[in-house]
Amino acid sequence: MPSSYKGIVTGLRRSHDSKNNLYTILSSRAISAKSKFVLELGDVVTVKEIDEKEQTISSVEVNGRYERADYERELSKKLEKLSIGRNAERIKKSYKREPYYETVERMSGALQKAAASLFRSYISGAPILVRFHHDGDGSSGAVSLHRALSAIDKKFSMFGRSVSWIMNRGIDYNSTSIYSDLVELRNYESVELPVVLILDFGTAPGSAVPIAESRGKFKLIMLDHHPVYEGFPMEKVDHYINPWNYGSGTDFTAGLLTSVFAEMLCKVNTKDMRAASLISDFSSFADRSSKPDQRTAVILDYLTNVAGRYDSKIAKLTPSYIDNVLKDKGESDSLFYEASSSMNEMLDLGMRGVKPHRCRDGINAFVLDFDALPRSSSGYPLPGRFSSRLQEKLEEMNGSKTMTILYYGGYVTLRMSKKISGTVKILDLIKRLEDTSDYVESGGGHNEAASIRVIDNHSKEIVDIILRELRPD
């Protein structure tokens, strides 16, 4: 290492014992380390000696207080070295033959601005909280982002940065979530605002109040692909990027979107995550003939399903853990076998248990009581992924006018062929049910895959209403 580093204390995580305070010093490299001497945010310091084994600054001199202009100059050097603009041009060239190329090109400017904003906070030591949806789509995006941030650490940082990864089981960024985030952030001080980054959820009515409350407290970045309902306060989000606002739709998955964002940040390979995301989220862009990508999608779905259960070995799922599992052939083979066996067994039972209904315009609707099926000890699969796979099998047998309806407890899950999605208009139907039914609490998703939350376990009644809406004239 150099004999000394001169830089600015740009981030500070306070501890009850000041010896355990974690400082970020923006220098030729961003140093994240403890210190034997108490420092303050904004100090200009010369770090003379670092115990790399203990990751502790053992000799430091305070030279004064920082000037904003000096900080901006140092940050500009790092942004230039990061080369977000050149990354964007490289992405455009490499995506030329992809069916979603034009959407990538249209959203490139917004993604570059969001990437620069995230980098400013990340490199300066501001806390970063990433919430990703608990499925193959959300987790694939999280893995891609993890790869990019890890590459940034190697390029710019000494000892790296820590990020809080939170798997989110709901579709709202709700009041409980923002309260939890603010509690975590209160131990930090930083020159830049903290970042809360939301992947693959949040475009829902329950997010409106927390979005408003986030202003001035942290930068909120949302990468989502669900339809934007009228009145959603996207203008209050610091960076809200959704393919629906760029002439595309839900087929451009959140995992794909976040992977493109990750490649804007740093040159990393996200091809496997993009492919798995498209397969996992039932996108028309997916190549379902690719066995390796199918395998990855199954493992992602399995891990996000079982993590956090009381009997699971995985208490908290992080993208680092997922990436390591995928690299370990023995571990990933074992998980794939367990997931595939459970899914295939459930699909056989589901195919025998579905009840067909002839509907208008030649649509075949298949209804299944998911709670009536015996479950594996792991609890896998959960209804969402299962209904997508069941839809695939039913569509193979019954053609492109097929619809699958699962009901269980307080939920109804719907899947359908792309060909009939414009006719059924399931999101419009869900909105009508929200307005007219006493049983529907909320609903959302996209035109080929949606779910409804039902009050007091009245899911069967909601299925009956849907079938009445779809019956022949």
**Residue ending a domain, choose from 66, 90, 111:** 66
- Structurally, how many domains does the chain consist of? 3
- 255 and 367 together in one domain: no
How many CB atoms neighbour CB 222 within 10 A?
25
Q: Is the pLDDT of residue 426 over 80?
A: yes
pLDDT (average), residues 353-373: 95
- 395 and 437 together in one domain: yes
This prediction has a pTM of: 0.90
pLDDT (average), residues 23-38: 95
- 277 and 373 together in one domain: no
In a domain, 331, yes or no: no
Give the model's pLDDT for residue 238.
98
**Residue ending a domain, choose from 294, 324, 354:** 324
**Residue ending a domain, choose from 35, 66, 97:** 66
In a domain, 332, yes or no: no
Query: Which phi-psi region, left, alpha or beta, contains residue 128 (left: φ > 0; alpha: ψ -120 to 50)?
Result: beta
**pLDDT tens digits, 150-175:** 999 999 999 999 999 999 988 899 99
In a domain, 329, yes or no: no
pLDDT (average), residues 293-321: 87
Q: Is the pLDDT of residue 1 over 60?
A: no
Q: Is the pLDDT of residue 473 over 70?
A: no
| Sign of the four-CA dihedral 327, 155, 125, 24 | positive
- 134 and 277 together in one domain: yes
- 414 and 320 together in one domain: no
Read off the CATH number of the domain in which 466 is found: 3.10.310.40
In a domain, 334, yes or no: no
pLDDT grade, residue 315 (50/70/90)? confident
C-alpha to C-alpha distances, 425 to 13, 420, 450, nearest whole angstrom:
49, 8, 11
pLDDT (average), residues 361-374: 94
Residue 368, beta-bridge partner list: 406
Give the model's pLDDT for residue 169.
86
Omega prior to 383 cis, within 30 of 0: no
- 269 and 405 together in one domain: no
Those residues with Cβ within 8 angstroms of residue 106's Cβ, 6 or more apart along the chain or in another chain: 246, 247
**pLDDT tens digits, 234-245:** 999 999 999 999
In a domain, 335, yes or no: no
Q: Which of 184, 186, 243, 236 is nearest to 211 (CA)?
A: 236
- 367 and 432 together in one domain: yes
- 235 and 86 together in one domain: yes
In a domain, 249, yes or no: yes
Range of the domain at 383: 341-470
pLDDT (average), residues 119-124: 98
**pLDDT tens digits, 263-289:** 999 999 999 999 999 999 888 899 989
Give the model's pLDDT for residue 80.
96
Phi/psi at 453 (5° precision): -95, 125
Q: Which of 408, 166, 179, 141 is nearest to 300 (CA)?
A: 141
What is the spatial distance between Cα 80 and Cα 70, in angstroms, rounded to a whole number?
Answer: 16
Q: Which of 390, 327, 326, 328 is nearest to 353 (CA)?
A: 390
Read off the CATH number of the domain in which 145 is found: 3.90.1640
- 374 and 452 together in one domain: yes
pLDDT (average), residues 98-119: 97
3-state SS class at 368 = strand
- 137 and 279 together in one domain: yes
- Which of 13-22, 39-48, 69-78, 437-446 bottoms out in mean pLDDT, i.e. has the lowest? 437-446
Q: Is the pLDDT of residue 3 over 80?
A: no
- 52 and 142 together in one domain: no
- 105 and 225 together in one domain: yes
